């Protein structure tokens, strides 16, 4: 069985400033190397000062992940010579002699009751963004460095190698992301806000690390690829090296970059510019009392309050924005099961199919409520609802105006529907003969009526009229 461990890097982009300086965190879209100062550029004599809100965010995440929180905050220097850190070291944390991580020994439960242990949580600064303008890391003729991201606070959340499949890894990341969003620690939809280093090993091989995988889908793909690659190598008698690899998002393959370093290679030692920060038990308790509702607790409450299924509740809370949309819509429209059905089966599926983010949607609780009310009143059919939903999501159009403008109201004229039904029966004579005793065939004929009326025939009336015609054949 493969062993998979994840090192998840979460931007503290909810902070107003970087981790150790007063530069703003709103760097996305800014001209390169303009959101910088002597501290985040590592210029001589510049002294870092901790953003204390970063500590509060880290403590919240540690509590949510059932971790033991350290009695003091100690920062270390992680030395490496690479251009993404101008000072040739990264201010991080090290769980070793004379140092400690902010939290350790936690866990996160998966839906199959499997416990994935959390080894540690670190607070550290992010390096600069490396840009390869003429290809990939392997093919570009030259490299750009944008230090706007340098110094942004992030959490490194390291799991034990308890994950045994790409599917479990995906669930772990999705549950962790939901927790992070509910705590208000990070807007995970922002560019580069949540990345992971994926550690994979199979029996007979060494541990391989795939660095900086940027999406949940790619994390799953990278694990699948590495398991297959390593198993193939072992089966052929080849040695799987302990190395660091890069994930090529276009080709969906990992490529070697360097042999894996050991901790000693980074020459960790406590940062002399940042003295230890004592974390009092009273502080931890205060943070705990002020924490917002977590996803699992929210799901239980939603099941009780809205009488929706456990499955629906879990899907809704998997994304805070989706759960918020459900609860805000529920303030206006009281058939909660219909809201959940609309969001999960139509809204969410359409957004995922188009590779959009929920933040891209212009649908509001008001427009979704109006859409459902139109269907309740028999003004539109479920097929029309599905047809106009994309326009509501993409353009925020008013459902009633859309229905009136495009003449999408349900057809309830019995004479007109009877003519259409007679056409369908005439064109499908053999099917009509057996539809009386076969519900599937009857549904096929109803579908043909809907096709001829472009989905506007009243479903209930169509069913009644069609059954009457068939019974009289």
Tell me which residue has tokens 């929180």.
69
255, 375: one domain: no
What pLDDT score was predicted for residue 380? 85
Mean pLDDT value across residues 32-60: 95
421, 355: one domain: no
Integer CA distances (angstroms), 138 to 222, 248, 270, 389, in order: 18, 10, 35, 43
Cα end-to-end span (Å), the chain? 62
Question: Which residues, in sequence order, are CB contacts of 370 under 8 Å at separation 6+?
Answer: 398, 399, 400
| Burial class (CB within 10 angstroms; exposed 0-12, middle 13-18, buried 19+) of 176 | buried
Element holding 209 (H helix, E strand): strand 208-213
302, 441: one domain: no
Show the domain range for 446: 414-471
Reply yes or no on whether the pLDDT at 16 is more than 70: yes
Closest CA to 13 of 180, 129, 178: 180
What pLDDT score was predicted for residue 267? 86
The CB density around residue 224, as the number of other CB atoms within 10 Å, is: 16
338, 430: one domain: no
Condensed to tens digits (0 to 9), the pLDDT of residues 141-198 reads 889 999 999 999 999 999 999 999 999 999 999 999 999 999 999 999 887 899 999 9
DSSP letters for 79-110? E---TTSTTSEEEE---STT---SEEEEEEE-
Condensed to tens digits (0 to 9), the pLDDT of residues 172-182 reads 999 999 999 99
Closest CA to 178 of 275, 52, 283, 320: 320
Domain boundary among the residues 287, 308, 342 is at 287
The phi and psi torsions of 156 (rounded to 5 degrees) equal: -105, 115
Reply yes or no on whether the pLDDT at 417 is more than 80: no
Mean pLDDT value across residues 57-72: 97
Mean pLDDT value across residues 359-377: 93
Question: Which of 236-250, 272-286, 308-322 is predicted with the least confidence, judged by mean pLDDT?
Answer: 236-250
Condensed to tens digits (0 to 9), the pLDDT of residues 113-146 reads 999 999 999 999 999 998 888 877 777 888 999 9
Condensed to tens digits (0 to 9), the pLDDT of residues 288-299 reads 999 999 999 999
Using DSSP's 3-state secondary structure scheme, residue 278 falls into strand
Using an 8 Å Cβ cutoff, are 22 and 30 in contact? no
The CB density around residue 208, as the number of other CB atoms within 10 Å, is: 22
Quote the tokens at residue 396: 């925020």
300, 266: one domain: no
Domain boundary among the residues 405, 427, 443 is at 405
Residue 260: band (very low, low, confident or very high) from pLDDT cuts 50, 70, 90? low
Residue 76: band (very low, low, confident or very high) from pLDDT cuts 50, 70, 90? very high
419, 400: one domain: no
C-alpha dihedral (278, 75, 211, 36), degrees to nearest 10:
110
In the chain, how many domains are there? 3
Residue 264: band (very low, low, confident or very high) from pLDDT cuts 50, 70, 90? low
398, 421: one domain: no
334, 348: one domain: yes
Domain boundary among the residues 264, 287, 310 is at 287
Whole-number mean pLDDT of the chain?
91
Reply yes or no on whether the pLDDT at 309 is more than 80: yes
191, 272: one domain: yes
Mean pLDDT value across residues 21-49: 93
Question: Which of 65-74, 319-328, 365-374, 450-459 is predicted with the least confidence, judged by mean pLDDT?
Answer: 450-459
The phi and psi torsions of 23 (rounded to 5 degrees) equal: -65, 140
Using DSSP's 3-state secondary structure scheme, residue 6 falls into strand
Q: What is the Cα–Cα distance from 449 to 290, expressed in whole angstroms?
A: 57
Mean pLDDT value across residues 98-102: 88
Reply yes or no on whether the pLDDT at 17 is more than 70: yes
The phi and psi torsions of 3 (rounded to 5 degrees) equal: -115, 130
| Burial class (CB within 10 angstroms; exposed 0-12, middle 13-18, buried 19+) of 378 | middle
Buried b / exposed e over 97-109, threshold 16 CB at 10 Å, is eebbbbbbebebe
367, 451: one domain: no
**Sign of the torsion angle spanned by Cα atoms 100, 105, 106, 112:** positive
In SS3 terms, 378-406 reads as: CCCCHHHHHHHHHHHHHHCCCHHHHHHHC
276, 388: one domain: no
Mean pLDDT value across residues 27-38: 93
What pLDDT score was predicted for residue 262? 64
Q: What is the Cα–Cα distance from 237 to 115, expressed in whole angstroms?
A: 34
299, 236: one domain: no
What pLDDT score was predicted for residue 299? 97
């Amino acid at each position: 069985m493969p062993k998979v461990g994840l090192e998840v890097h979460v931007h503290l982009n909810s902070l107003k400033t970087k981790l150790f300086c007063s530069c703003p965190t709103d760097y996305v879209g800014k001209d390169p190397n303009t959101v910088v100062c002597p501290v985040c550029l590592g210029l001589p004599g510049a002294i870092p000062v901790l953003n204390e809100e970063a500590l509060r965010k880290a403590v919240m995440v540690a509590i949510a992940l059932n971790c033991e929180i350290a009695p003091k905050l100690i920062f270390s220097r992680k030395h490496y010579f690479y251009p993404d850190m101008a000072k040739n070291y990264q201010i991080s944390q090290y769980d070793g002699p004379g140092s400690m991580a902010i939290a350790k020994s936690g866990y996160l439960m998966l839906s199959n009751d499997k416990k994935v242990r959390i080894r540690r949580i670190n607070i550290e600064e992010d390096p600069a963004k490396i840009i390869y303008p003429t290809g990939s890391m392997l093919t570009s003729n030259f490299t750009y460095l944008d230090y706007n991201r340098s110094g942004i606070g992030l959490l490194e959340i390291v799991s034990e190698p308890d994950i045994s499949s790409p599917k479990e890894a995906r669930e772990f990341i999705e549950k962790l992301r939901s927790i992070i969003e509910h705590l208000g620690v990070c807007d995970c939809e922002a560019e580069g806000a949540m990345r992971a280093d994926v550690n994979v090993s199979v029996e007979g091989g060494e541990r391989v690390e795939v660095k900086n995988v940027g999406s949940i889908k790619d994390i799953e793909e990278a694990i699948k690829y590495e398991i297959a690659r390593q198993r193939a190598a072992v089966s052929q008698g080849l040695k799987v090296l302990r190395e660091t690899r890069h994930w090529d998002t276009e080709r969906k393959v990992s490529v070697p970059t360097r042999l894996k370093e050991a901790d000693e290679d980074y020459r960790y030692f406590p940062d002399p510019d940042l003295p230890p920060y004592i974390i009092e038990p009273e502080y931890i308790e205060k943070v705990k009392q002020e924490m917002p509702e977590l996803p699992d607790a929210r799901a239980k409450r939603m099941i009780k309050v809205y009488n929706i299924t456990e499955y629906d509740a879990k899907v809704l809370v998997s994304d805070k924005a989706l759960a918020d949309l459900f609860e805000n819509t529920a303030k206006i429209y009281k058939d909660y099961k219909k809201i959940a059905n609309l969001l999960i089966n139509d809204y969410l599926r359409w957004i995922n199919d188009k590779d959009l983010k929920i933040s891209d949607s212009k649908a509001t609780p008001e427009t979704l409520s109006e859409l459902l009310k139109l269907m309740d009143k028999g003004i539109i059919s479920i097929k029309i609802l599905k047809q106009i939903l994309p326009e509501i999501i993409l353009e925020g159009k008013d459902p009633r105006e859309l229905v009136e403008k495009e003449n999408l109201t349900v057809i309830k004229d019995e004479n007109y529907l009877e003519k259409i039904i007679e056409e369908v029966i005439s064109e499908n004579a053999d099917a009509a003969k057996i539809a009386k005793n076969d519900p599937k065939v009857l549904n096929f004929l109803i579908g043909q009526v809907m096709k001829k009326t472009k989905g506007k025939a009243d479903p209930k009336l169509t069913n009644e009229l069609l059954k009457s015609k068939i019974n009289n054949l």
